[in-house]
Structure 1
Amino acid sequence: MASFVTEVLASSGKLEKDDLASKISKLSRKVDETKEELSDMINKKYNEFIPSMDAAEELMDQVEAVSKDIDLLKSFIENEVQQNLHEAVTEYAKLKQQLEKNTAVISMLQHLQEFDTAMEEYHKTLQEKKYEAAAKQLGKARGSVEALKAWKDSELPLLKALSSEITVQRENLIYHLGEEWKKLAVWKLPPAKGEKLNGMESFLTTALHLNSGESKEDKHTPNHLLSSVLQALVIQGELHKKIKLFGQVLLKYMLKPLIMYPSLLVEVGEQLEQGTVLSLHSEENQVEHPAPAEVYTKILIVLKTLHEHLFGTSIDDKKVSAILGDQIWEEMSDCIIRECLLYSIPTNSSQLAAYDTVIKETEDFENHLKDMGYLSGDSTDLLKYARNVNCHFASKKCQDVIVAARKLMTSEMHNTVKISPDYKLAIPKLPNLGGGSREKQEVKRSGHCDQQILENEKQLGQRTLCLPVCRISESVQQLMELAIKTLSEAVGSSPQCGFQLFYTTRNIFHLFYDVVPTYHKDNLLKFPHLAAIQHNNCMFLAHHLLTLGHQFRPHLPLKDGVAYFVDLVPGFRRLGAQCFVAQMNVQKAEMLERLSTARNFSNLDDEDNYSAASKAVRQVIHQLKRLGKVWQDVLPVNIYCKSMGTLLNTAISELITKIMMLEDISTEDGERLHTLCQTILEEGPLVFTPLPEENKNKKYQEEVPVYVKKWLTFKELSIVLHASLQEIVDRWAEGKGPLAQEFSSSEMKSLIRALFQNTDRRAIALTKIK
């Protein structure tokens, strides 16, 4: 038996291990003995001084023998023991690998078992309509498959089948959830007759049936089916998609129509087997845009009903209504602003105080939405818009003002009103600043005819700074009233609003400067009447722009140094002058064209030539009379007289030039030229009748030489054409007579040579013309 054990131990290496231990033990004892003997020898040698050479040599032999035994043992350890140790480690590693593989197989089998169990529970809970539990079991099954896929060395052909089954069952669950969702909210939408819905009538068939799935007996118990469906949709990641689609339909077919159409109302009713029904109907309403309070009420009815029956459930500490609110709030609030709040902004500053009601209604509306969970956060664009009413009022007011101004500028110009020296701008009563005398004097100047008190207490004339009597377009008078009304709105407004309204008023005049000359360009050149009115319009505006800023300056929140409106004055004066000068040039060209048909006023003894010359003169007179009719009572008297005088001067200057160019004037020609000149001299002054009702015609007719520079020259020429040589010499009076004041000696000599034949008398007369 002992030999068998020995063999077994020898085969396993244990015997060598025991022999080695015993050898090491014996060797250790020999070493100890040698150490003691060596110590004893050294002690005797050095302490007792006993000669012991032989004993020392014996000890050296023992040491060498022990060293050899150590080397043999070391060699044995290196060759035998380490080799056996390596074999043992290799064998252990193989056992460990086999154990891990077995463990992995067991783990995979456990996952397969979990998958099977989860799928069985899934099918069971799905049949029982426990959708939340079914979704969780499907999640567990998916987790088991994912765990199997994560094992790298596994190549189970079953994995594809398992993954496919998971996909199929997920789609199956989503389908069932979709069917349940459809039962919870059933839409009845308008028939699709096209892509766009036109008018309110299109939405009258819209209805939403809300059926939360609760039975009549369990009305007061929690609705587990609704919660289960919503939870399952969350787990499957489908809830946001469902609510997004629902929110889009809700906005398009219910919320937006309720916001846009004042006549459209929402009604909540109960129907058998259909639950709660939200339907739309209309009632007669003449309001073009709905009031904010009405819109808020209609929207709250819809959202409260949805909250009670569908979106009041909380999931993961978050209400489902918050998801719907995130989807619809931005678009809904933008629609409320665009279709409702925009039109509720006051058009008059006196109504701004009453707008606090709308701000309060907006706050209450948002608070209701926050209570139901549709809205989160403190500040929204809707409430910001309502609170920023001053800015919106100014923007809306400015827009309305510019639109109204442009409409006036593009209206007919020929409807005029008469401006008298007593005319004053209707400046509304401005607030009393209670300042010094300078401010009081500035506010006091409410019209351009007010008296101005000078430092030396001398008064200017009553008509100082007054516009002359003239006519302006009614639209321009209304434009000026619009500008004053806009500035009055700026008085007492917030600084930002005041700035906007002030610069809008300036923009009115900039717009006039650009629009009117362009829009009425053709008519201003074609019709002298309109050109005169435009001249007056520009001068009227320039006149009032001088003092308009001065009247409102103490009441506007502007810094010192602002030019207000004075800088616009030169431009308007230039614009009016350019318009009228362009019309004057047209009339001059027309007049010269008519005189060009007179055949240079030569050979008037020919009837045809005389007829042509006479016709040209008559046409000029007729043109002047026609202009007199359209310009009188329109232009100021001085402008009218200057204009008519300039045109008449153009005609007689052309006539003088033509006559002076004649080299030979027969007696008959002279008579006929004299007749033509007399026609102009007699009828020309008659065009100076700007105010026929005041019997002041003669005054202006007597002042014709003031307005017609060549009038006296033309008068002297007419006399010469009918005078004798002696009469001419007498009127020359050695260069001191009236004739010498209008003609040079060379011109007079040339005219005498043309009128008279070459005789001694003519030669004597020429010598007297010096």
Structure 2
Amino acid sequence: MASFVTEVLASSGKLEKEDLSSKISKMCRKVEDTKEEVCDMLNKKYSDFLPSLQASQELMVQVDDVSKEMDSLKNCIENEVQQNIHVAVTEYSKLKQQLDKNTVIISMLGHLKEFHNAMEESSKALQEKKYVDAAKQLERARASVDSLKGWKISQMPLLKALSSELTVQRENLIYHLGDEWKRLVVWRLPSSKVAAGCAPPEPTGMKSFLNVELNLSHACSKDDEPKPSALLCCVLQALAIQGDLQHRIKLFCQVLLKNMLKPLVIYPSLSVSVTEQQGEGTVLALQCLKESQEERSTPSQVYSKLLLVLKTLHSHLLDVSIGDKKLSAILGEMIWEEVSQCIIHECLLYSIPTNSSQLEKYKTVIKETEEFEKCLKELEFLHGDSTDLLKYARDVNCHFASKKCKDVIVAARKLMTSKMHNTVKITPDSKLRLPKLPAPASVSKVKQETTKDEATMENAKQLSAWSLRLPACRISESVQQLMELALNTLCEAVGSSTQCALQLFFTVRNMFQLFYDVVPTYHKENLLKFPHLAAIQHNNCMYLAHHLLTLGHHFRAHLPHPLSEGITTFVDMVPGFRKLGAQCFLAQLNVQRAELLDRLSTAHNFRNLDDEDNYIAASKAVRQVIHQLKQLGTVWQDVLPVSIYCKAMGNLLNTAIAEMISKIMMLEDISSEDGEHLHTLCQTIIEEGPLVFIPLAEENKNKKYQEEVPLYVKKWSTFKELVIVLRANLQEIVDRWADGKGPLALEFSSSEVKSLIRALFQNTDRRAVALTKIK
């Protein structure tokens, strides 16, 4: 009867559900008990450190059994639910929630089991020096801990203990890997006996690098084929798995750059040797074979030394695949930019030719650079197309022009700031040493067509032999050198590329503009203080302006487009240089003019010369004026062109004479004794003034310039008439007036002559008659 009831209930599903409920209740209790025991065991293992290996193994078996029961029960429930889903959704939902909770707990227990197994395997692999396996097991353990952290129901104290244990094991592994790395890759540096991962202080001087060594231990296999050892590969791969490889390689690169690669580029005397020590490894050592006389290494020397180092590193250290990348590629990404910049600034920059004739030879350097980069790509240090290094080498024309322009400007500025008083003599026959340039075909053709016409016109019209010639004078030696520098730079532009020619041409223009701006400012005080320098600066500017007229014309046809189309000219700069020279000399003339007037101001306006003190003061003032003019004549006579010299001296003498005339004309009463004294002083000027117009010593016997004094001194005739009047009687004055047609009337107005007569003669009938005749 009972079995019949059971069958009926089973067919209705009620008994099955009651059995399931009882089974789930029992399973919940069993899961909770297992969870408590596992957590307790792990706490004892990783937190309390109690030995419970046997208990843990039994628990692991128990966890597996419970897990299997749960899987079976889950399948049973899911089948039952699917069959009765329409009638038992509500009843089974509660059971499903409880089952899901238990499933999560079982999954957590599975991760705990995974963590424990991974930690055990990692510890075992580390003891056997299976570093890659140890690193992978630690990664498994870390993944288990990360999964546990994702559940809020996880017990925080237990997670903290597991994370702490994982950190300890990871640091222990990294320590062992670092120890192996230090043993396999050993640096010997001057600053310390052994260094392997720490960046040392920056060494200075070539000698400090002579003891640098890199020892790659156990780098050869049994068959003597150079390749990284299995142990080294394991160490590098394990470091990569643990994420510490980049840091190790970065430190290695820093030491390699500072102590081996850069010194080999910078110091031409340094070389590198590679020695194989049997049973110990390979040693790269820096050495100085012989003192090099060159200040910089050639590109070929640098490339060969660097390739020797990098090939050795590739063979014994870097030929290891880390994931999908070679270690050599990782190292290349870290060092290439700094190495290439060092090669550019310490080697290639100094290999750029200084003369355009050497540009053709530079193709060798470009080819060597291409081969260097090709070798680096084969070693997988480099990827992709041309880099900054090869681009720099190929842009030699641009760099040549930039270097040349920089050197030209530096040399020009040095000439402009040098002493101006070192001079050279320029004569009308002096010419620039212009280079012989091949005439362009178009010019030759035009020249042949016009030869007959030119021959016909040559007899008809000819320029003077003095046309376009500088007068004899002296210029600064530095200015002559500046012009030669400009010629040489323009010669470099001939035959160069368009960009290079443009840079060089405008550098020459900038050089002259720099002279215009720098020299007047840099020598400002001296140009005002020393008349000699002012005259030289005047000549310098006129010399430059003279040659700038034709400089562009000489080179235009030989330069590439667009320079050959007419923009090659310096004519626009000519007015500025002429004005600059004139302003400088006029400023000096104003200084000298002010000094002359200052000296004459001590003559007490030439009043009361019958007083001995007044006469002495006036005489001294006149003597000082003569002395100043003679001194200027001595300074300027061999410097300025003759015409400029005479005009300058005439201007200054005229200033002194005009001042004396003005002061004498202002006198209201001139006694006979005063008149004699004034005549004596003025006669001194007349006798000694013309002597300053002797520009050259060899012309002492030639009175040409003294005879032409009235051409340069406007008031000279006026002054001579005044001197005559000072000693003449009334009749002689009237005769020289000659009814307004005589020589006196040409220099003075009637009112001025009357004023002189009133000052020189007493009020008598004869003076009155004479005054009436002055009309």
**Could you say which TM-score interval applies, normalised by the shorter chain?**
0.7 to 0.9
The alignment-based identity, stated in percent, is 72
1:303 aligned partner: 310
1:520-531 aligned at under 5 Å gives the runs 520-531=523-534
Distance in 1, Cα, partners of 2:656 & 2:548: 38
Structure 1 position 702 matched with structure 2 position 686: no
Distance in 2, Cα, partners of 1:14 & 1:135: 54
Contact 1:690 1:697 in 2 (8 A): no
Distance in 2, Cα, partners of 1:441 & 1:404: 41
Please tell me the root mean square deviation across aligned C-alpha atoms, in Å: 2.7
Residue 288 of structure 1: CA displacement?
1.1
User: Which amino acid in the other structure matches residue 710 of structure 1?
Assistant: K
Structure 1 position 169 matched with structure 2 position 169: yes
Cα 1:287–1:13 change in 2 (3 A) is: closer
Residue 338 of structure 1: CA displacement?
0.6
1:676-695 aligned at under 5 Å gives the runs 676-694=681-699
Residue 211 of structure 1: CA displacement?
1.1
Structure 1 position 286 matched with structure 2 position 293: yes
1:564-603 aligned at under 5 Å gives the runs 564-603=569-608
Contact 1:541 1:572 in 2 (8 A): yes
Most deviating of 693-702 and 610-619: 693-702
- What's the secondary structure of 1:393's corresponding residue? helix
Distance in 2, Cα, partners of 1:263 & 1:443: 63
2:554 aligned partner: 551
2:92 aligned partner: 92
1:247 aligned partner: 253
User: Which amino acid in the other structure matches residue 115 of structure 2?
Assistant: F
2:137 aligned partner: 137
Distance in 1, Cα, partners of 2:297 & 2:163: 57
Distance in 1, Cα, partners of 2:729 & 2:691: 29
Residue 374 of structure 1: CA displacement?
0.9
Contact 2:227 2:316 in 1 (8 A): no
2:232 aligned partner: 226
Structure 1 position 467 matched with structure 2 position 470: yes
> What TM-score comes out, normalization by structure 1 length?
0.86
1:52 aligned partner: none
- What's the secondary structure of 2:557's corresponding residue? helix
Unaligned runs of 5+ in 1: 16-83, 445-450
Contact 2:219 2:228 in 1 (8 A): no
Residue 114 of structure 1: CA displacement?
2.7
- What's the secondary structure of 2:441's corresponding residue? coil
2:213 aligned partner: 207
- What's the secondary structure of 2:470's corresponding residue? coil
1:726 to 721, 731, 754: 731
Contact 1:443 1:551 in 2 (8 A): no
> What TM-score comes out, normalization by structure 2 length?
0.85
Residue 562 of structure 1: CA displacement?
2.6
- What's the secondary structure of 1:435's corresponding residue? helix
Contact 1:270 1:277 in 2 (8 A): yes
1:610-646 deviations in Å (ceiling 9; x for gaps) = 1111111111111111111111121111100100100
Structure 1 position 427 matched with structure 2 position 434: yes
Distance in 2, Cα, partners of 1:369 & 1:212: 25
User: Which amino acid in the other structure matches residue 133 of structure 2?
Assistant: A
Cα 1:202–1:681 change in 2 (3 A) is: same
Distance in 1, Cα, partners of 2:616 & 2:329: 98
1:758 aligned partner: 763
Distance in 2, Cα, partners of 1:699 & 1:452: 39
Contact 2:297 2:347 in 1 (8 A): yes
- What's the secondary structure of 2:186's corresponding residue? strand
Contact 1:126 1:134 in 2 (8 A): yes
1:475-554 aligned at under 5 Å gives the runs 475-554=478-557
Contact 1:594 1:619 in 2 (8 A): yes
Unaligned runs of 5+ in 2: 15-83, 194-199
Contact 1:452 1:460 in 2 (8 A): no
1:126 aligned partner: 126
Cα 1:439–1:394 change in 2 (3 A) is: farther
Cα 1:220–1:386 change in 2 (3 A) is: closer
Count of residues paired in the alignment: 695
1:377 aligned partner: 384
Contact 2:219 2:226 in 1 (8 A): no
Cα 1:466–1:92 change in 2 (3 A) is: same
Distance in 2, Cα, partners of 1:238 & 1:452: 89
User: Which amino acid in the other structure matches residue 521 of structure 1?
Assistant: K
- What's the secondary structure of 2:726's corresponding residue? helix
Distance in 2, Cα, partners of 1:440 & 1:658: 66
Residue 609 of structure 1: CA displacement?
1.2
2:325 to 311, 318, 326: 318
1:37 aligned partner: none
1:345-424 aligned at under 5 Å gives the runs 345-424=352-431
Distance in 1, Cα, partners of 2:13 & 2:379: 83
Cα 1:633–1:566 change in 2 (3 A) is: same
Distance in 2, Cα, partners of 1:722 & 1:438: 76
Structure 1 position 621 matched with structure 2 position 643: no
Tell me which structure has the larger Cα radius of gyration.
1
User: Which amino acid in the other structure matches residue 505 of structure 2?
Assistant: F
Distance in 1, Cα, partners of 2:118 & 2:279: 36
2:645 to 640, 645, 660: 640
1:5-27 deviations in Å (ceiling 9; x for gaps) = 47984898699xxxxxxxxxxxx
User: Which amino acid in the other structure matches residue 774 of structure 2?
Assistant: I
